[in-house]
Structure 1
């Protein structure tokens, strides 16, 4: 299959690659997802390989020619990586600069110096939300765990009273706020406006993180009253540095891409004229690529140089930041390939028919599909990508705001009830020294609260917009 034929097939997305009816397509979807689930959960296969094989299985069960299935998968993989791959890479660089320079520690120490007693859980959720903006969830946990354990130990707090708000802040950012991979892929799949999604995501995230963080932590601390495990309190990552970036410079660098993207969204709403000079400028500087690139370039000075990094160390930091995201890029790309296979097989039209016949609101349908895939695979990213692909046709006739809300609904569903098939479940369990039952009572319940509360606010906004 030549690259030209792949491009031609992608251009003819409206022409299904199979003539299967809705019943056969429904079986094909279930079979494809079942293959992915079994490969990930039973055989412990990497999600990239599982998604690739699941896509081929989907096409086969739908009666599509193997060559057409391969072409659809390849086209989807390429377009997804092209759409979000560079953004993920830039986010990884910014996160690595933040961690290695001590900028993350500077934000943490400054906020903690102002908080004590009852304010501490609120300080933890604020720190985690700020730190979680440019960082992947796993990286955010690694950065926050030393802080959580040290604060709990020195202040004699219940570990859950301090830890749950931090985990809630990181998880909400990961599931709802771009430039995290899941929301970015959903935005790309649903052709949503990034700035509007970001703005609405922040509106949903604030009450959600308050309820799932500081409020729920009171109950979690009663259910599981444990002290921080001594063997898990590591050395702070930036103690070896002679100096660190200032709090103001670090915060400004973290928030720079967010501000630029929100500015672009605001100008688009207020001006609403593509020929306007101001809108032309903001559409460039507020595009995700330029906004994140600007933050990385600024961060090299405000974070790297401020910490005393030489040119060689800066180059090394950038190089080290890219290696760990190879797996993420492959998973995201394969998820895009699975999404395109779903669309080209005609599953999108089947979902449209199903939605019309059963009168299920598109936002609720997107959330339910993401919940089902999350429970089955354990991966929030896989759930977001797959669900976004399934409900993509529903976004075609939506307003800008409702398309953004559909992205958030899918993201909220992808966070539902993390359990034993989720790597994050085991990460939290081991860091906090809990058993499986304690982890379910705290972490799993917290994730469910985030998913349900976020969806409630998303539905509320859909009535207002």
Structure 2
């Protein structure tokens, strides 16, 4: 089959997936599998070959990241139940003061807390960000909303153990320790620079308080009611378009008064298991890069074992701080949240496998070279366009990376750069099709116009900054 025809068919299939998701309202998982099947048949893989490739692609990505995603979501659910996030944010305000809080808050959400499912983390941290906003002055709401939007979206695609980051690493066969190190190298300057850029323009005409914020009484009373009255919290649960789940709102809110009456353990104790896991994974990657290894360290630093140790440690700490029953309840909620993530990731792996089997790698390899920025710019642009159309960071990142994955072995490009570029592109223009957009609007007291500035513009700035950081990184690896 001619190269131009394969490229055309692939483009039409990707467009068809977008139409199915956006216009026909077909579930993204179903749309991705349909697209993979059509692409395989149209490019001559045959019925049996297409079916086998779709199933193999799903199984391969689950083999790589299935347990990792499950461990991460479960650990985040237990941390949520223990109220660790509220205490952490209070500590940040005391330590860094008003000027430094947006940066400290953003870096914490974008790096340390990425084991927590995005919507859950947003719902947990938004009332705290809104409570801190008045301490930052006239534009406090704008600054905290921007920091939250940038850090939450960046973390999910650039930082281990963000669910999309795990999927990208598995899809491109990037060792998780390597993804952790290079993702950290990119995400830290991305968050800091992006917040600094936005904070520069916010007080210089970008943010209009009377147009971009709700009146102080509109959202404050709702947040206050959710933080003080459990029955009101339960009544509000369904108001966030179905995303105010029990994991996101109720456990910590309902038990908050009880937790504060008890003697609280040191905050560092709650996060020690997670920090241990990240240290083990990073240590293993560093030892591998310098050519040093030992069987015990190889075992402990393997991501699935390191995160399992972290999960067990978090559960153990939880039993002594909130009790066995609440830990078990958090685990049940975590399993409920992880199911949809796993299936979506697997469907993305199916499409990527069919794209690779269609010969796309050989075709694109003719036009790219490892010494050029063209592959990274291409994957960024594809992810950006997909995100604008579909509204899902995970889907756009996984799909774009799958399209360019075959290029890496052809031209000698390090796959971690493709993963980071795909993640960066998927951040571009978070808008009204995104759940995150509406959650940020409703929970931080912004108007739709204000959210277009803090979220859509802010995260788009981060998308470009992350691409620039990835391009610079590409000069050295």
TM-score with structure 2 setting the length: 0.85
Cα deviation digits, residues 322-354 of structure 1 (max 9, x gap): 112211111111111111111112222222223
Judging changes above 3 Å, is the alpha-carbon distance between structure 1 residues 239 and 126 closer, same or farther for their aligned structure 2 residues? farther
Query: Does residue 341 of the first structure (1) align with residue 354 of the second (2)?
Result: yes
Judging changes above 3 Å, is the alpha-carbon distance between structure 1 residues 318 and 57 closer, same or farther for their aligned structure 2 residues? same
- Quick one: which of 64, 69, 75 aligns to 1:88? 69
Judging changes above 3 Å, is the alpha-carbon distance between structure 1 residues 200 and 359 closer, same or farther for their aligned structure 2 residues? closer
CA contact (8 A) 2:167 2:345 kept: yes
- Residue in 2 aligned with 1:308? 322
Query: Does residue 407 of the first structure (1) align with residue 419 of the second (2)?
Result: yes
Cα deviation digits, residues 59-113 of structure 1 (max 9, x gap): 2432442332222111111111222111111001110011001122221222222
CA contact (8 A) 1:28 1:62 kept: yes
SS class of match (1:240): helix
- Quick one: which of 439, 450, 465 aligns to 1:438? 450
Cα RMSD between the aligned structures? 2.4
Query: Does residue 188 of the first structure (1) align with residue 187 of the second (2)?
Result: no
CA contact (8 A) 1:363 1:459 kept: yes
Judging changes above 3 Å, is the alpha-carbon distance between structure 1 residues 243 and 61 closer, same or farther for their aligned structure 2 residues? farther
CA contact (8 A) 2:40 2:50 kept: yes
- Residue in 2 aligned with 1:459? 471
- Residue in 2 aligned with 1:281? 296
Q: 2:440 and 2:447 mapped to 1: Cα distance?
A: 10
- Residue in 2 aligned with 1:296? 311
Unpaired runs of at least 5, structure 1: 1-19
Q: 1:155 and 1:387 mapped to 2: Cα distance?
A: 38
Shift of 1:232: 4.1
CA contact (8 A) 2:29 2:344 kept: yes
- Residue in 1 aligned with 2:241? none
Judging changes above 3 Å, is the alpha-carbon distance between structure 1 residues 44 and 218 closer, same or farther for their aligned structure 2 residues? farther
CA contact (8 A) 2:368 2:411 kept: no
- Residue in 2 aligned with 1:324? 337
Query: Does residue 266 of the first structure (1) align with residue 278 of the second (2)?
Result: no
Judging changes above 3 Å, is the alpha-carbon distance between structure 1 residues 28 and 260 closer, same or farther for their aligned structure 2 residues? same
Q: 1:397 and 1:283 mapped to 2: Cα distance?
A: 29
Cα deviation digits, residues 134-178 of structure 1 (max 9, x gap): 222222211110101111256665311222112222222112012
- Residue in 1 aligned with 2:387? 374
Runs ≥4 in structure 1, deviation > 4 angstroms? 153-157, 356-360, 397-400
Shift of 1:214: 4.3
SS class of match (2:25): coil
CA contact (8 A) 2:370 2:411 kept: no
Judging changes above 3 Å, is the alpha-carbon distance between structure 1 residues 43 and 427 closer, same or farther for their aligned structure 2 residues? farther
CA contact (8 A) 2:178 2:285 kept: yes
- Quick one: which of 347, 366, 389 aligns to 1:353? 366
SS class of match (1:354): coil
- Residue in 2 aligned with 1:13? none
Shift of 1:35: 1.5
Q: 1:218 and 1:356 mapped to 2: Cα distance?
A: 38
- Structure 2 counterparts to residues 38-437 of structure 1, below 5 A: 38-153=19-134, 157=138, 158-220=140-202, 222-224=205-207, 225=209, 226=213, 229-233=219-223, 234-235=226-227, 237=253, 238-241=256-259, 242-270=262-290, 272-273=291-292, 276-277=293-294, 280-302=295-317, 304-310=318-324, 312-355=325-368, 361-396=374-409, 402-437=414-449
Q: 1:289 and 1:168 mapped to 2: Cα distance?
A: 28
Q: 1:243 and 1:458 mapped to 2: Cα distance?
A: 45
Unpaired runs of at least 5, structure 2: 228-251
Judging changes above 3 Å, is the alpha-carbon distance between structure 1 residues 54 and 232 closer, same or farther for their aligned structure 2 residues? farther
Cα deviation digits, residues 16-69 of structure 1 (max 9, x gap): xxxx22122112111211121111111222211111122122224324423322
CA contact (8 A) 2:145 2:440 kept: no
Q: 2:221 and 2:353 mapped to 1: Cα distance?
A: 46
CA contact (8 A) 2:119 2:436 kept: yes
Q: 1:451 and 1:318 mapped to 2: Cα distance?
A: 33
Q: 2:448 and 2:459 mapped to 1: Cα distance?
A: 15
CA contact (8 A) 1:121 1:214 kept: no
SS class of match (2:446): coil
Judging changes above 3 Å, is the alpha-carbon distance between structure 1 residues 178 and 120 closer, same or farther for their aligned structure 2 residues? closer
- Residue in 2 aligned with 1:31? 12
Shift of 1:119: 2.6
CA contact (8 A) 2:149 2:459 kept: no
Judging changes above 3 Å, is the alpha-carbon distance between structure 1 residues 75 and 246 closer, same or farther for their aligned structure 2 residues? same
Judging changes above 3 Å, is the alpha-carbon distance between structure 1 residues 243 and 27 closer, same or farther for their aligned structure 2 residues? farther
